[in-house]
Amino acid sequence: MADGSTLSRFDPYAARAQFPILSRTVNGKPLVYLDSAASAQKPRAVIDALTGAMEGSYSNVHRGLHTLANETTEAFEAARETVARFLNAESAEQIVWTKGGTEAINLVAAGLGQSLKSGDEIVVTQMEHHANIVPWSMLRDRLGVMLKWVPVLDDGSLDMAGLAALIGPRTKLVAVTQMSNVLGTINDVRAVADLAHAAGALVLVDGCQGAVHCAPDVQALDCDFYVFTGHKLYGPTGIGGLYGKRAALEALPPYQGGGEMIGTVTEERVTYAAVPHRFEAGTPPILEAIGLGAALDWFMGFDRTAVAAHEKALYDRVVDRLSGLNWLRIIGEAEGKGAILTFTVEGAHAHDVAQILDRYGVAVRAGTHCAEPLAKRFGVTSSARASFALYNTVEDADAFTDALIKAREFFV
């Protein structure tokens, strides 16, 4: 458990009160929302920002000369500045808007794919989300690029010695998650980057979970690319982005063609805009970006260390209460992991467990969590996952534990 002085700097009840949806009931029970690793709920600050933008000042951005266009462009680009500050990027010009982490990874894969050749190697880990596997697998199928897989150890930690052994002169990219969406494992991304850079390889970090729970600093991580998504950061869906070192971004060709990403267009020739706009073809996700900016401004108002301590305290409370139950298997127990509890119940399918928990108002995720190679590594076809966020409380943790113990009775 975290010490009281740390927890005293963060009030989860005050934070929770800012989320209108958390006051509702499900099946006659108070909602216990433990599915934030899939998508977080939205605070009033984000709801108001979206409503305000639609009601008070909305237009398309960049190309207009009228008042609404100027106001919306300022708000849109201010959100980019907010993301840069949140990630500690050197410049907002290193932030590319995408519709989420998946599109950001695909952007990098599409760009790198134009220079890779058969026999080049991409290193991925067994704990990656499908979004950080499939784009590289497509390059393997199309170009003959080789994928090398870093093992995951029994406790859910990354095999760093195995990683070092896989990186070689043909390695072009190492793709690694900062925090596993299944195991909660937090990887030493800087150590990964050092190994990759020593071999002349680039590093892409999937920060979709890490951005929420790890207070990322892209300069300290020394990653070449960092992807994130807004809907896990208490912001809207349909918005996320890509951070890249300036040289890494400038080396990528345009991802899509259309308006906004061009310099000039003639019948004979097209020139392209500078980064980041060269990667943002068409009308961008304007309202979504403004909403994400509001979410990050709100989120950065909290002591991130205290929030992490609170989430970990809830996780520890649940694990302590469930310890010694021989019908429960916890998957992922690496030291220093984040507050994600993935588990199986003996004799029960994870989908059935999730549906029974829902009867008690408890929302958890069930399935393979878009990480089938990891499920295979741990010998399961499905698992349930409870993920804790800053708005969860001790009452949530206890309600989940009580409901899980009751759910077991259905399978005995």
* Residues labelled catalytic: 370
155: number of Cβ within 10 Å: 12
Query: Half-sphere exposure of 55 toward its Cβ, with a 13 Å CA cutoff?
Result: 6
Angstrom CA distances, 126 to 102, 289, 371, 373, stand at: 17, 32, 8, 6
Contact call for residues 311 and 213 (beta carbons, < 8 A): yes
- DSSP state, 261? S
Angstrom CA distances, 36 to 40, 63, 179, 197, 332, stand at: 4, 37, 14, 33, 18
Task: Tell me the one-letter amino acid at 102.
Answer: T
3-class secondary-structure state, position 45: helix
Can you point out the beta strands (E) in 276-352?
A: 328-331, 340-345
Which helix (H) or strand (E) segment is 373 a member of? helix 372-377
Taking the C-alpha atoms of residue 208 and residue 406, their distance in angstroms, rounded to an integer, is 33
Length of the chain: 412
- The token duo for 357 is 């928990």
Judged on CB neighbours under 10 Å (0-12, 13-18, 19+), 160 is middle
Which helix (H) or strand (E) segment is 229 a member of? strand 225-229
- The token duo for 256 is 């899509």
Closest to 384 in 3D by CA, of 402, 400, 406: 400
Q: Are strands 240-244 and 95-98 parallel, antiparallel or unpaired?
A: antiparallel
